[in-house]
């Protein structure tokens, strides 16, 4: 199922309800037809996003003011407020804001709203051949008292909204957001719906759900029984461990979330390959779509589901869950066992490694997704993998300063910040790298790279940035130390121009960039003050051992902003933090490390970065054993007691297609 969200006229959230013609940036009418044709030839369905419940008025620019090219949707501009929901208490339209775009609630019973929805869905089905609709907010929107005269009563908003859904379902299958019993009358898929409050699963806000305790969660299984017969719950992105565990618990349907260039290299590619193979195995076992027989809470944040042909335990607690026949389920992991002999789960290795694995009955190898080396024992079974072979960096203290000049700029750093950073690393006598060719050439001759262009990563080509990130990560794994002096590494990619002006083209790649850079998935907390406030800094115990007394005193006398800190970076070594999160930290990666600031630099920060790198080089800040974060999808030998025999087919994906074949 290819779910497309930016296909419409003007782009996502820009010109609703005027969805057609399709977005010119992706080829317009012919581009959409070609996309559907290619998908159908490959055996896939296409499901476009639509939202008939609100009309767009405009959008913001970077400064949160209306963008220069912002404009109302043509229908809103031409017809005014006649088709909008009117708040029964005030008689005024209800204004809404979504991620930089703003507009109004549309009255679902108004003839113009019905007409626009009907024309859009009919064109998508007849002219473009789509297979399904994703109708946002039908199952999630509140039902206000609507004084629009198109409704017979202000209480008719919900009934009119459900009529929109039923009319769509008469033409094509419909998926929607969240859901309830009325939505089950027409929807076949309900996104991230019916989640018991067991897990810190990050839905929309990126924040933790209310913890489950006592008896309050025991009403939730009703949702699973309803969904098992009427609609499939769809979890947003199974590359996240907790979300995959939820997907397995709620019906074994696998979703990859957002597809981007990131799937070409690094953790997204490895996870996508593994999930493709897992989905195939689940389909062979008949697990997807099986009927639910029983559901129980074993303890807070641990649940068990019994389906007609498989059983599963999901562990959303912070501690491993021991299995009766040996081994343990990892936090945010699961253990699935099918009647066909398929077994899958995320387990804890001998050294605490978290290993995602599956194997079929009778097979002597298991597919795994795990970082570096591991030793996994489950009862009488054993899987073992060696860490990747990486060439060690022997460049000693050789350092380089990335300074591409004002043509690229300092990102989040001022010219004063950049000068202070250069001064802090003068002790290493760094060479100055001023062109991309110099940056790309002979990385092994440098041990330290200082990026003076905060949040900007130089790449050869914007449409191939994952390859450059992968090369840089490989250099770090070999023992390199990368210094980022503000916020998120690889948040933006910058490619050099081909003309003589030396100009750069910068593109935001966002979370996918730094996830590929770190080699692990993470979530960003978005619940912040606007604007965020500077808060006093305090050194950790590690920081007090590593930093000089003078630098410690300077840091702790200052307040800094920590920018959208990650919810979870278990491998980070914090040296200094404030109440909002870590400010100065080290991320071990292979034999090397990323040293960064979690916000804009205060006066003492450059010196602290320099002292941290010095401590890594002289061993006072020990990185211990190599931290192989980037997960590898590979087959490993399955040893131990004999496995039950099965007629299940092996994977249709040739082993030679796996880049890590041959590593046991």
pLDDT mean over 154-165: 97
pLDDT mean over 383-410: 86
Task: Indicate the pTM of the whole model.
Answer: 0.79
Identify the top-confidence range among 131-135, 140-144, 243-247, 436-440: 131-135
Give the 3-state secondary structure percentages of the chain, helix then strand then coil, rounded to 5. Answer: 25, 25, 45
Is the pLDDT assigned to residue 245 strictly greater than 70? yes
Identify which of 560, 506, 500 has the alpha carbon closest to the alpha carbon of residue 536. 560
- Cα 536 → chain centroid: 31
Instruction: Give the span between the Cα atoms of 80 and 73, in whole angstroms.
Output: 10
Instruction: Give the span between the Cα atoms of 625 and 623, in whole angstroms.
Output: 6
The pLDDT of residue 653 is 31
- State how beta strands 133-135 and 46-50 pair: parallel
Identify the top-confidence range among 159-163, 359-363, 396-400: 159-163
* pLDDT level of residue 198 (50, 70, 90 thresholds): very low
The pLDDT of residue 294 is 83
Instruction: Give the span between the Cα atoms of 643 and 651, in whole angstroms.
Output: 17
Is pLDDT larger for residue 606 or for residue 389?
Answer: 606
Contact 473, 627 (CB under 8 A): no
Query: What confidence tens digit (pLDDT) does each residue in 173-183 have?
Result: 999 987 777 88
The pLDDT of residue 201 is 44
Omega prior to 234 cis, within 30 of 0: no
The pLDDT of residue 567 is 57
Is pLDDT larger for residue 463 or for residue 523?
Answer: 463
The pLDDT of residue 234 is 78
Query: What confidence tens digit (pLDDT) does each residue in 327-364 have?
Result: 999 999 999 999 999 999 999 999 888 999 999 998 99
The pLDDT of residue 521 is 67
pLDDT mean over 275-291: 93
558, 206, 626, 612 alpha-carbon torsion, rounded to 10°: -10
Percent over 90 (pLDDT), the chain = 54
Query: What confidence tens digit (pLDDT) does each residue in 486-518 have?
Result: 888 888 999 997 554 468 888 888 888 888 888
Is pLDDT larger for residue 235 or for residue 111?
Answer: 111
Is pLDDT larger for residue 90 or for residue 567?
Answer: 90
Identify which of 158, 172, 183 has the alpha carbon closest to the alpha carbon of residue 233. 183
* pLDDT level of residue 165 (50, 70, 90 thresholds): very high
pLDDT mean over 457-482: 91
Is the pLDDT assigned to residue 193 strictly greater than 80? no
* pLDDT level of residue 642 (50, 70, 90 thresholds): very low
Query: What confidence tens digit (pLDDT) does each residue in 64-119 have?
Result: 788 888 999 999 999 999 999 999 999 999 999 987 899 999 999 999 999 999 99
Hey, what domains does the chain have and what are their CATH numbers? 2-191 (3.20.20.80), 198-221+242-388+631-664 (no CATH), 399-618 (3.40.50.880)
* Assigned token pair, 35: 């996309």
Query: What confidence tens digit (pLDDT) does each residue in 527-558 have?
Result: 555 667 899 999 999 999 999 999 999 999 99
| DSSP element (H, E) containing 482 | strand 481-484
Identify which of 512, 450, 459, 510 has the alpha carbon closest to the alpha carbon of residue 485. 450
The pLDDT of residue 303 is 86
pLDDT mean over 360-386: 92
Least confident of 25-29, 130-134, 598-602: 598-602
Spell out a b/e string for 533-571, using b for 16 or more CB atoms within 10 Å of the CB, else e. eebebebbebbeebbeeebbebbeebebbbbbbbbbbee
Helix/strand/coil (H, E, C) string of 111-176? HHHHHHHHHHHHHHHHCCCCCCEEECCCCCCCCCCECCCCCCCHHHHHHHHHHHHHHHHCCCCEEE
pLDDT mean over 311-332: 94
* pLDDT level of residue 658 (50, 70, 90 thresholds): very low
């Amino acid at each position: 199922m290819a779910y497309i969200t930016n296909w419409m006229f003007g782009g996502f959230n820009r010109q609703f309800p005027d969805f057609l013609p399709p977005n010119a940036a992706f080829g317009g009418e012919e581009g959409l037809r070609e996309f559907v044709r290619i998908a159908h030839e490959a055996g896939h369905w296409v499901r476009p996003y639509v939202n008939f419940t609100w009309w767009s008025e405009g959008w913001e620019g970077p400064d949160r003011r209306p963008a220069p090219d912002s404009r109302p949707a043509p229908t809103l501009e031409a017809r005014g407020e006649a088709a909008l929901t009117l708040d029964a208490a005030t008689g005024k339209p209800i204004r809404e804001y979504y991620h930089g775009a703003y507009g109004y609630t549309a009255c679902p019973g108004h003839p113009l709203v019905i007409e626009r929805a009907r024309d859009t869905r009919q064109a998508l089905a007849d002219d473009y051949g789509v297979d399904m609709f994703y109708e946002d907010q039908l199952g999630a929107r509140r039902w206000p008292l609507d004084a629009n005269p198109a409704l017979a009563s202000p209480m008719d908003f919900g009934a009119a909204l459900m009529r929109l859904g039923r009319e769509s379902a008469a033409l094509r299958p419909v998926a929607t957001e969240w859901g309830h019993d009325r939505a089950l009358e027409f929807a076949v898929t309900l996104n991230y719906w019916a989640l018991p409050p067991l897990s810190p699963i990050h839905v929309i806000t990126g924040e933790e759900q209310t913890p489950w305790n006592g008896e309050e969660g025991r009403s939730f299984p009703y949702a699973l029984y309803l969904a098992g017969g009427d609609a499939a719950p769809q979890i947003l992105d199974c590359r996240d461990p907790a979300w995959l565990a939820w997907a397995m618990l709620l019906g074994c349907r696998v979703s990859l979330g957002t597809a981007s260039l990131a799937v070409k290299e690094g953790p997204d590619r490895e996870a996508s390959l593994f999930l493709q193979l897992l989905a195939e195995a689940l389909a062979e076992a008949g697990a997807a779509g099986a009927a639910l027989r029983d559901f129980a809470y074993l303890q807070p944040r641990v649940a068990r589901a019994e389906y007609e042909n498989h059983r599963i335990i999901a562990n959303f607690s912070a501690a491993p869950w021991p299995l009766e026949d040996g081994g343990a389920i990892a936090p945010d992991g699961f253990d699935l066992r099918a009647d066909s002999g398929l077994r899958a789960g995320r387990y804890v290795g001998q050294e605490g490694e978290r290993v995602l694995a599956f194997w079929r009955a009778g097979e002597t190898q298991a597919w795994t997704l795990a970082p570096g080396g591991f030793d996994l024992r489950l009862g009488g079974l054993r899987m073992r993998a060696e860490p990747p072979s990486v060439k060690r960096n022997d460049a000693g203290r050789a350092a380089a300063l990335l300074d591409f000049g004002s043509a690229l700029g300092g990102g989040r750093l001022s010219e004063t910040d950049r000068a202070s950073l250069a001064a802090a690393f003068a002790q290493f006598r760094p060479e100055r790298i001023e062109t991309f060719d110099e940056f790309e050439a002979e990385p092994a001759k440098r041990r330290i790279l200082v990026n003076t262009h905060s949040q900007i990563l130089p790449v050869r080509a914007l449409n191939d940035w994952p390859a450059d990130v992968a090369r840089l990560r490989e250099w770090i794994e070999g023992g390199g130390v990368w210094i980022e002096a503000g916020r998120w590494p690889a948040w933006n990619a910058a490619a050099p121009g081909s003309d003589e002006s030396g100009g750069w083209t910068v593109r935001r790649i966002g979370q996918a960039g730094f996830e590929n850079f770190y080699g692990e998935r993470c979530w960003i907390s978005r619940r912040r003050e606007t604007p965020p406030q500077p808060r006093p800094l305090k050194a950790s115990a590690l920081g007090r051992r590593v930093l000089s007394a003078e630098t410690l005193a300077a840091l702790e006398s200052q307040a800094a902003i920590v920018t959208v800190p990650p919810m979870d970076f278990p491998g980070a070594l914090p040296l200094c933090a404030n109440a909002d999160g870590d400010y100065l930290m080290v991320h071990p990666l292979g034999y090397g490390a990323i040293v960064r600031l979690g916000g804009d630099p205060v006066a003492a920060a450059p010196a602290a970065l320099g002292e941290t790198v010095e401590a890594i080089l002289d061993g006072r800040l020990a990185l211990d054993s190599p931290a192989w974060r980037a997960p590898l999808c590979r087959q490993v030998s399955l040893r131990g007691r004999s496995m039950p025999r099965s007629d299940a087919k092996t994977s249709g994906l040739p082993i030679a297609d796996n880049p890590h074949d041959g590593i046991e």
